[in-house]
Amino acid sequence: MSHAGVEPSAEPGDSSRRRWLTALLSTSLGATLVSFLYPVLRYLVPPLASEPSLSELELDVKASDIPPNSGRIVPFAGKAVLIFRTAAGELKALTATCTHLACTVQYRAERSDIWCACHNGVYDANGTNTSGPPPRPLTKLDVNVRGEKIVLRRS
Amino acid sequence: MSSGAPEDGVPAPRPTGLAWVRDRLGWDGLAHLIAKKEVPIHRYTVYYYLGGMALFLFLVQVATGILLLLYYRPSAAEAFESVQYVMAEVPFGWLIRSIHSWGANLFVGAVVLHLISVYFLKAYRAPREMTWISGAILLFLTLGFGFSGYLLPWNTLSYFATKVGTDVPAQIPGIGPLLSQILRGGSDVTGATLSRFYGIHVAILPAITTLVLGIHLVLVQQKGMSVPPSIERERRPRTMRFVPDFLLRDMVGWLTAVALLAALAAFFPWELGHKADPFAPAPAGIRPEWYFLSMFQALKYLPAEIAGVPGEMLGIFFFGALAAVLVAVPLLDRGASAGRSSPWWNRLAGVAILGAIVLTILALLPPGKTSP
């Protein structure tokens, strides 16, 4: 109010009108900003690829291609799956994504277990986490042999 | 027309040529500012060179990075091949790419040493708190550059490092999975992640860094060089002029850095490795760049659960808290700003540095020695 002499239009109610106009202006500026930011933020989040409905897959891998005590990684519905044969000759399949921090695991023949090289996580042949940082077991998949070919199916 | 003639009748000579350019640029004011800039001389003066070294190495990264852009192709199908092409076919491509990779490591090293020396010399004391905070943000941006640039050659090592690195934020309760999805450009590390990291590495981070670095450098000029408390207590130190005395010494360091980079690039060209294969297991002995090794090793030691809380989540909170303390040091260490010594802050930093070194060494040991 010390500028009252400078501003000739200092009438009562002027300051509340000023406040009202400032509130209107900042609200509309804020709303404009939000209307710019909202599409940008939505743009940053990628659309999730629809989960492939694939539940069964005949692989181009023969059952005889996997000798006892060995394994290999195959793609199944966009994810890595570990198919391995135990030393006893049983064919098994587990998701190959480590439950710790998502590295890809491998079958370790020397110890007949499943090992993640990133942080030294270990699972047994049933996919149960046995040592190291993994918090959960790997997920099992059904393996069948149709003719010569291996067939994978979600359990 | 007699325009421009002052009252006393003597027309002011209109500046021409170089004088005109200097006049319009306001060069004399700038020259006056530069001439005024001084650097204190005392037994810790050598640490003043680290900031300039970090700045120089950053500019090397900008220059070599721009050159790499001319050949690099940011797609899962072509990225690896385009880097291979740069290394094998493009004249001096091996030199540019190796300098960029080696330079990145030296740059992170210079930034870390700059931070450590500034910390122990208490240069973050009032009135330089914002200089420290902007510097700490620049450190995080530097690590962001390292992490995002590492994926770009699309090789096995970088693929798995990125898988792990982008799964780490997913452990944060609530927004974690969304954060990881935004980073990856999907639910997994794919070509979409490569596009995203490319954009982050060559556009988003450079834009933010230019702004923060600008603030950091303006603050350094505004506040002048900090003199460590122990020197301040003794006497007011002599000074040398920044131009040319200090700058010439700076340049000796920069030339040495260029020579070192060229030698490293020539004798130890940066390896490209094997092309990333999303359906191959993570290879044995996999580990990230040296500046992430201590965090990587800590993640290895954390058990799946501690008192019902997932181990990785605790690790993330621990490192997050450490980062927050690092940013807030000038606000927390009140004693230093009041001119008192703050030995506890020195001890805390000593323990943190020692811990990081021990974890890094453990991560470098052959895998047989660390596995149970």
CA atoms within 13 A on the CB side of B84: 10
CATH number of domain containing B117:
1.20.810.10
Two tokens at B176?
A: 């974690």
Average pLDDT on A62-88 reads 90
Confidence at A64, pLDDT banded by 50, 70, 90: confident
Taking the CA atoms of B206, B54, B105 and B119 in sequence, report the sign of the dihedral they define. Answer: negative
A73 touches chain B (CB under 8 A): yes
Measured in angstroms, the CA of B86 and the nearest CA of chain A are apart by 29
Does residue B95 contact residue B269 with C-beta atoms inside 8 Å? no
In a domain, residue B256? The reply is yes
Q: In chain B, which ranges are continuous DSSP H helix?
A: 17-25, 27-36, 49-69, 79-88, 93-120, 129-151, 156-167, 176-184, 191-199, 205-223, 229-234, 247-267, 293-301, 311-332, 334-337, 343-364, 367-370
pLDDT attached to residue A53: 62
Closest in A44, A46, A101 to B192, CB measured: A46
CA atoms within 13 A on the CB side of B246: 23
Rounded to whole angstroms, the maximal C-alpha distance in chain A is 100
> Distance (Å, rounded) from C-alpha B21 to C-alpha B18?
5
Closest in A103, A106, A132 to B164, CB measured: A103
pLDDT attached to residue B369: 43
The candidate with the shortest Cα–Cα distance to B34, out of B277, B326, B307, B245, is: B245
Taking the CA atoms of B250, B256, B257 and B262 in sequence, report the sign of the dihedral they define. Answer: positive
Averages of pLDDT over runs of 10 residues in chain B (372 residues) are 54 85 91 90 95 97 97 96 95 95 97 97 94 98 97 94 90 90 92 96 98 97 91 88 93 95 95 92 87 90 81 88 96 86 91 95 72 42
Using a CB-CB cut-off of 8 Å, the residues of chain A touching B286 are 103, 117-118
User: Which of the two residues, A111 and A155, has the higher pLDDT score?
Assistant: A111
What percent of the residues of chain A are helix, what percent strand, and what percent coil, each to the nearest 5? 20, 35, 45
Q: Is the pLDDT of residue A97 over 60?
A: yes
Confidence at A1, pLDDT banded by 50, 70, 90: very low
Residue range A109-143, pLDDT digits in tens? 999 999 999 889 999 999 999 998 899 999 999 99
pLDDT attached to residue A12: 62
Two tokens at A133?
A: 């940082």
In a domain, residue B352? The reply is no
B127 touches chain A (CB under 8 A): no
Closest in B186, B278, B282 to A116, CB measured: B282
- What's the number of domains chain B is made of? 1
SS in 3 state form for B310-354?
Answer: EHHHHHHHHHHHHHHHHHHHHHHCHHHHCCCCCHHHHHHHHHHHH
B113 touches chain A (CB under 8 A): no
CB pairs under 8 A between A and B: 91
CATH of A56-154, one of 3.40.50.10490, 2.102.10.10, 1.20.1050.10, 1.10.3720.10: 2.102.10.10
CB contact under 8 A, A46 and B186: yes
CB contact under 8 A, A44 and B182: yes
Domain positions in chain A: 12-47, 56-154
For B71, phi and psi rounded to 5 degrees?
-115, -25
Within 253-312 of B, beta carbons closer than 8 Å to A belong to: 278-286, 296, 299-300, 302-305, 310-312
Give chain A's mean pLDDT.
Answer: 87
CA of B296: which chain A residue's CA is closest? A119
Measured in angstroms, the CA of A72 and the nearest CA of chain B are apart by 8
Structural domain boundaries, residue B115 = 37-286
pLDDT attached to residue A52: 58
In a domain, residue B212? The reply is yes
pLDDT attached to residue B308: 80
Using a CB-CB cut-off of 8 Å, the residues of chain A touching B304 are 100, 129, 133-135
The candidate with the shortest Cα–Cα distance to B194, out of B314, B48, B74, is: B74
Measured in angstroms, the CA of B293 and the nearest CA of chain A are apart by 12
CA of B157: which chain A residue's CA is closest? A118
In a domain, residue B26? The reply is no
Using a CB-CB cut-off of 8 Å, the residues of chain B touching A106 are 281-282
A1 touches chain B (CB under 8 A): no
Does residue B154 contact residue B79 with C-beta atoms inside 8 Å? yes
CB contact under 8 A, A45 and B182: yes
CB contact under 8 A, A133 and B278: no
CA of B363: which chain A residue's CA is closest? A119
ipTM of the complex: 0.72
pLDDT attached to residue B370: 42
> Distance (Å, rounded) from C-alpha B217 to C-alpha B35?
17
pLDDT attached to residue B4: 46
b/e code A92-109 from CB counts within 10 Å (16+ = b): bbbbbbbbbbbbbbbbbe
Q: Any idea which residue has 């996999």 for tokens?
A: B286
pLDDT attached to residue A32: 93
CA of B287: which chain A residue's CA is closest? A118
Using a CB-CB cut-off of 8 Å, the residues of chain B touching A100 are 304, 312
Does residue B135 contact residue B117 with C-beta atoms inside 8 Å? no
CB contact under 8 A, B371 and A120: yes
Q: Is residue B130 exposed (0-12), middle (13-18) or buried (19+ Cβ within 10 Å)?
A: middle
A101 touches chain B (CB under 8 A): yes
In a domain, residue B347? The reply is no
Please provide the distance, in angstroms rounded to a whole number, between the alpha carbons at the two ends of chain B. 95
Does residue B113 contact residue B307 with C-beta atoms inside 8 Å? no
Using a CB-CB cut-off of 8 Å, the residues of chain B touching A129 are 304
Cβ contacts of B289 within 8 Å, gap of 6 or more: B105, B108, B146, B150, B161
CB contact under 8 A, A118 and B164: yes
B51 touches chain A (CB under 8 A): no
